[in-house]
Homo-oligomer: A and B are copies of this chain.
Amino acid sequence: MAKVKLYDTTLRDGAQGEGISYSVTDKVRIAQELDKIGVHYIEGGWPGSNPKDMEFFRRMSKLRLKNSKLCAFSMTRRQDLKASGDKNIEGLVKSGAQIITIVGKTWDMHIRDVLKISLEENLDMIRDTVGYLVAGGAVVFYDAEHFFDAYRASKEYSLECLLAAQGAGAAAICLCDTNGGALTSEISKVITLVRPEIKVSLGIHCHNDAGLAVANSIAAIEAGCDMVQGTINGLGERCGNADLIPVIANLKLKLGIDCIENRDLKELVHLSHFISEISNMRTKSDQPFVGDSAFAHKGGMHINAVMKNPKTYEHIDPELVGNHRRILVSELGGKTGIMLRAKAIDLDLGKEDPQTKKILKLVQQLEHQGYHFEAAEASLELLMKKALKIYGKFFELEGFRVVIEKQSNKKITSEAIIKIKVKGAREHTAAEGDGPVNALDNALRKALKDFYPALSKMKLSDFKVRVLDEKAGTAAKVRVLIQSQDDKDTWSTIGVSENIIEASWQALVDSVEYKLLKDIEEDKPQALNTKS
């Protein structure tokens, strides 16, 4: 059993971050990724506070997590009700979550100035809420809001709050530096003093307002905590929460604490990128451990030394967290990745095969232009198969025109006109749509439908646009990611251009070609060549 448990709150505290807004589907996908990597607890949301979170718990109750336990969050009961009569509390029970996390006040100033109740009443609220839930059979974690401010103001009272929760049956107590203002030395000192008082699991929850959230989390564990709360990439309100990525890496690699498996540690880069992508946030190239620049060497003297002994300028082996060294002058490596990807789709490519080198070069060129194949494996597969001449074109574009028209306050209209050559014929057709890309998508399908009826079985299920170089304003490059699905599979394709319509067109074409190629391969795996 792991000595330190990971408690992820990306879905609750992380979602409070400015600019973040997850759909229920996003939340389910995030929970599944967290489960894969072996996070012990996943805080899913506040079921009482909004219908979206309630829907999330409903959806999750039908799924099975392999590693993680799901937690539902709420605060202590309303001051004018008993816990048994508070709808928020009932929502927790209904959520079906395996663990219920209750946050309560701890700071006398907060209780006095905001709740405007007596300190004793607050203790009652803690005891009543935790006790009621425990009596109903729930496993309850208690989050002591503002614990470090509270302890600074009154050691006695802040401890009383913890003991009230412990006495009422809480299975874990978590100390929150809600405002993120505590220094690392203070965190260490306070936890050393508090630890002996707590007989159950003791957690730490830090915010980054002083730039210390990761250090404070590590220091808390060194001082005796056995649970750490945080979010992937440090998402969260104001300056964010403790970033679980460096927390996990430091625990594993610096303190030798087995909080996740070694093989899952290698997934940190992937997890971080996945969360950035789904949150529509940029990856931070200087993010510790997983950033693109984290093991990038620029100066000649450093490069020279790293070649002689990597330890000279790398604090860990980048492979341990799924990252890699980058030599900024001449990019090395990457052939292994291509080879492994090829293997995954049953292509026979050796590491020293000249084709491997050719594909790697193409991938590097395209990624330099803004492509990002990690998020678009169908496009990568097509690229490899095209390079290996495994398939030909299914159709050829002669041209398209998209016209968007707005008259005064009338509804805007979009129309696409398309001319293609397909199986020797020429199709010239047009369609409308809800926007220019939708019109183009409709026109392309209309042109192809008689030749490839299977396309009616496929639909676009996700469409993402990211601006790559915001500095350039509306002339910036955009990256379009399209996810498509049929009754069996889901696949992602990509396009990059200064023109959003061109980028969308590339991703649309890849999506259609992937579907057609897939159908052929499923029918007759031996005959891969098609003619346009």
Contact = CB atoms under 8 A, between A and B. Distances in A.
Interface of A: 16-19, 21, 23, 25, 109-110, 113-114, 146, 149, 178-181, 183-185, 188, 208-212, 214-216, 218-219, 222, 234, 237-240, 243, 246, 249-250, 254-255, 280, 282, 285-289, 291, 293-299, 302, 304-305, 308-309, 311-316, 328, 372, 374-375, 397-408, 412, 414, 433-438, 440-441, 459-467, 469-471, 473-476, 478, 482-483, 497-502, 504-505, 508
Nearest to A113: B309
Contact of A246 (B19, B210, B254, B287): B210
A26 B102 CA distance: 52
Contact of A313 (B25, B178, B316): B178
Contact of A466 (B114, B211, B375, B465): B465
Contacts of A471: 23, 25, 280, 461-462
A460 B473 contact: yes
A318 to B, nearest CB: 10
Contacts of A407: 398-399
Given A239-B293, A412-B497, A434-B498, 10 more contacts: A17-B293, A110-B309, A114-B312, A209-B289, A210-B250, A210-B288, A215-B216, A238-B286, A438-B473, A500-B500
A305 B211 contact: no
B501 A211 contact: no
A178 B314 CA distance: 9
A500 B435 contact: yes
B294 A414 contact: no
A435 B212 contact: no
Given A113-B308, A215-B215, A466-B465, A473 B459 contact: yes
Given A113-B308, A239-B293, A291-B239, A19 B499 contact: no
A184 B219 contact: yes
6 contacts: A110-B312, A184-B219, A399-B408, A412-B499, A438-B498, A474-B504
Contacts of A288: 180, 208-211, 239
A132 to B, nearest CB: 22
Nearest to A396: B408
**A211, A218, A287, A406: most-surrounded residue (chain B CB, <10 A):** A211
Contact of A437 (B218, B406, B497, B500): B500
Given A23-B470, A499-B436, A404 B401 contact: yes
B18 A285 contact: yes
**A178, A188, A222, A313: most-surrounded residue (chain B CB, <10 A):** A313
Main secondary structure of the interface of A (DSSP, over half): mixed
Contact of A218 (B16, B184, B465, B504): B184
A21 B285 CA distance: 17
Given A218-B183, A239-B291, A374 B18 contact: yes
A462 B466 CA distance: 12
Nearest to A397: B408
A264 B127 CA distance: 48
Contact of A478 (B21, B372, B435, B474): B435
Contacts of A312: 109-110, 113-114, 146, 179
A76 to B, nearest CB: 13
A211 B216 CA distance: 11
A19 B375 contact: yes
Contact of A474 (B240, B287, B433): B433
B218 A212 contact: yes
A289 B405 CA distance: 44
B498 A473 contact: no
B406 A211 contact: no
Contacts of A314: 179
Given A398-B407, A436-B499, A181 B212 contact: no
A493 to B, nearest CB: 12
Contact of A403 (B239, B285, B403): B403
